[in-house]
Each structure stands twice: as structure tokens, then as C-alpha cells.
Amino acid sequence: MIGCHPPLNRGKDAGIVLGRVWKRGPISKGDLVIHTWVIVILVAYAASLLVLCWNLRQTALLVRTQRALPPIEADAADWPTLDVLIPVKDEADNIGECIESVLAQKYPNIRITVVNDRSTDNTAEVVQAIQDRHPELHRVDIRELPEGLYGKPHGLHTVAKDLTGDVVAFVDSDLHLKPGCLRTLVHHLMSNKLDWIATMGAPEIHRFWEKLMVPIFGAVAFAWYDPRKISDPDWPDAIGSAFMVARRDSYEAIGGHGAVIDIYDEDSELIRIAKRARQKISFVLASELFTQRHYGSLANTVRGLTRTCIGGIKTVPRLLFTVNALNFVSLLPLQIFILLGLAALFGSPLSWGPVWLGMAAFHLVISTALAWLVFRTANADTSYALLHPLGSIVIMAICLRAAVQLIRGTPITWRGTTYAEAQEETAGD
């Protein structure tokens, strides 16, 4: 253990106690080296804590700048026509609520199409029951997936030729739109002369593990993809979302989903292509506009977040960096507490012990404050922020699981479809 020493013989030995050199004789070269390294590590740790404080400040500024979009009242006269596409596969439990929330938008000049991608449960029956009450609702059933293509972009590309609206919205089937959501986003798109909006809503989480893990994972995603940079045309990378809105001519100008039909993270790639075409993008944190249902059980959450790690973080070095970052933010202060306790227990007090203790306590306060801010921003139960070390351990394990799958080239299976090419695609990034 760094900086630990055996009990001192006060009559004969020279020692280093709590950072003070106490001389009863010549100091050994080894003690001096250890003492120097302890000071170097303390200085590096202090600098790292300053960086963490800066990140806390930046996160607070990010949340403050992401202001809620003002609600817009309906006015049938001036609204552009709108196509809403809802891709779905094996979502019988969620699709009804999603469709009903879209139908309840009261947006004028709207056309809603459900793209049923080879569902094997009773998704089609649920949609048909809604169609019986709302004959204006359209449904397209995708029967086959050509080899080498991905289900969602293939389905959306299939129906793209039938688009007629000025604006197109892509709404995943696990979303629930709040009243006025579509009007607010379309108004934001048109009034700011945007080409695309990608937006992140509030997570709808009910079970212990998803309550703990989903907000932390969201913070990891935004650590890699700062929403402000996503909107910056000079920053090349981007992240898509489960809910995107675009001008139809902008969507068609970059090839639509045909351009990403064989891409694993197709929504993010669409935004990247749009940025390369110098189209204007806005990424909006909009927890007041819609919610997104997540995975439920621990097993489903681990599988879902592993898939997202592979598609979003993409490479083994980035995944390992994420593991180390989570360890530093959430676990290092606890590790220091344990080290100090063991050193005292075995009679080998750690050099500069009170300084280590104070810095670790400060570290824990800052990391918990950061976690509280993350959970509050996600509209999640902020009491779970106190358990952020446990959540970070699980997310670290998921990142390592994703890294192992990338190294081994393990195919990704999601909703009954295996995508071997996704590993090659992400491993080469």
C-alpha cells in the first residue's frame, strides 16, 4: 500500500508519521522516495478533484441552458403538414399507449403510420384494434428483412416513398408524448429554421435497478456527446435519439434511411450525415415533452445497456476509459476510506492520513452532488443518488461486458434478430 509503514520504534527509528518527517537518525532513501511519491500522488489527486469540481459546474451550466421549450397553442391555419412514423417490433405492451398519445396531440394536418417490423407477438392485433376506432391511422407490415440490413432503418426506408408531409417525425414505440409535444417541436423546428431536432425526454423507470442505472448511464452518454456540441456544425460527432423531427426535404436530401439502412446506430448516423451536409441541428433535453419507457428487469436493463454501449461508446478503449472514469468519480473515495481503515487496523498508519481523509470526504461530497444533479435532471428519484457507487459498479460491469463482446466479435441479438455486422462496424471506428 502506498505510503504505509510498520510501527515505529520511537527510540531508534526514523519515520514519516501523518506527513511529518520525525528524525531520530538518518532517513533511509526508501522512506524518502515513498514520502515523495505520496506527495506527488496527493497533488495529482487534488488536481483531479479540481477537474471534478469543474465538471460539476459545467453540468449545472448545461442543465441551466437547456431551457424548456414554451408550449404552443394549436392553430389550424399555419401548421406545416406532418408525417409521424412509429417503427415497432414486438412491443405489444407499449405500442397502444404510444399510438394513443400521438393521436391525442390534436396536431392539424397529421398523418400517422405504424411500421410493424416482423413482430412475432400480438403487436399487429393491438394496432388493428386502435385502427378500428381511428381509421385515419395507417399500418405497414414488414414481412422480411434482407440479409445485411437492420430492421428499423429498413422498415422506415420502406415507407419513406409514401411521405407527403412538410415535416416528418420519427417516434419510437416506447415513448409517451405529452399534450402539445408535436406542436412544440415543430414550432421549434420552423421558427429557428432548423433541419433536424433530436430530443431526449424523461425516463419512465419503475424498478430498483433501472431507477439506479438509467440516469447514471444517461450521464455517461452525455459525457461522450455533449448536447451543445451535437448542435455545433463544426463538431463532427453526434448522437441521435428515440424521437427525431426533420424537414422532409432535408431528410430526403441526405438519402433518408436508405443512407443508413445497413448501420447499427442509424439514428446517430443520420445526424452525423446531416451535419456533414451542413444541415442545421438542434439537440434538446425535453423531459417536459415526453417520457420513454426503459427495460424493466435487471437482466433486460443489462442487455439493453450493453447493446447501447456497443452502438454508442463503440470502441474498447472508450469503454475502458469509461470504466476508469466511473471508478474515479464514484468509487475512489470509498477505496481511500477502506485503505485508511486497513492501514490503521494493521498498525501501519498512512502518510498524510488526515489529508487523504479530508480529500476523500470532499471527493465523496462532490461526486454525490453531481449524482444528485444527474438524477434531478432525469426527473428520477434523487434519493437514489446516494447509491451512485452501486450504480457505477453495475455500469462499469456492463461496459466491460460490452468490451468483451467487441473483442470476441459476439453478435448482438435484439428482439429476436442477430446483427453480426454491428461488431465489425463498431470495432473499426
The contacts of residue 73 (CB under 8 Å, 6+ apart) are 183
124-155 burial code (b ≥16 CB/10 A, e <16): bebbeebeeeeeebbbbebeeeeeebbbbbbb
pLDDT the model gives residue 233: 83
Structurally, at CATH architecture level, domain 82-296 sits in Alpha-Beta Complex (3.90)
The three three-digit cell numbers of residue 2, written as one number: 502506498
- What does the buried/exposed string (b/e) look like for 326-347 if buried means 16 or more CB atoms within 10 Å of the residue's CB? bebbbbbbeebeebbeebeeee
Q: What are phi and psi of 172, to 5 degrees?
A: -65, 155
pLDDT of residue 237: 80
Residues near 40 by Cβ (< 8 Å), separated by ≥ 6? none
Give the ranges where 258-297 is alpha helix by DSSP (H): 266-276
Q: In the chain, which residues fall in CATH 3.90.550.10?
A: 82-296
Q: What's the CA gap between 59 and 267, in Å, rounded?
A: 25
Helix axes 353-377, 208-224, angle to 10 degrees: 100
pLDDT at 402: 94
Q: Kindly state the DSSP code that residue 330 receives in the 8-state scheme.
A: I
pLDDT for 18 equals: 37
pLDDT by residue, tens only, the chain of 429 residues = 344 444 444 434 444 443 444 444 566 766 777 778 888 899 999 999 999 999 888 888 877 776 677 767 656 568 999 999 999 999 998 899 999 999 999 898 899 999 999 999 999 999 999 999 999 999 999 999 998 889 999 999 999 999 999 999 999 999 999 999 999 999 999 999 999 999 999 899 989 999 999 999 999 988 888 887 888 888 888 888 999 999 999 999 999 999 999 988 899 999 999 999 999 999 988 888 999 998 888 998 998 899 889 888 889 999 999 999 999 999 999 999 999 999 888 887 777 889 999 999 999 999 999 999 999 988 889 999 999 999 999 999 999 999 999 999 887 776 666 665 544 444 444
Residue carrying C-alpha cell 508519521: 17
Full-model pTM: 0.83
Q: CA-CA distance, 141 to 125, in Å (whole number)?
A: 12
pLDDT at 73: 67
Sequence-ordered list of residues with C-beta below 8 angstroms from that of 41, at least 6 positions apart, any chain: 2
Return the pLDDT at 1: 39
Nearest to 332 by CA among 372, 368, 371, 364: 364
Q: For 164, phi and psi rounded to 5 degrees?
A: -130, -15
d(C-alpha 428, C-alpha 82), whole Å: 37
Task: For residues 429 and 427, give the distance between their C-alpha atoms in angstroms, rounded to a whole number.
Answer: 6
Cα 84 to Cα 106, 109, 137, distances in angstroms: 13, 11, 10
The size of the chain, in residues, is 429
At residue 155, the pLDDT reads: 95
| Residues 105 and 182: beta-carbon distance below 8 Å | yes
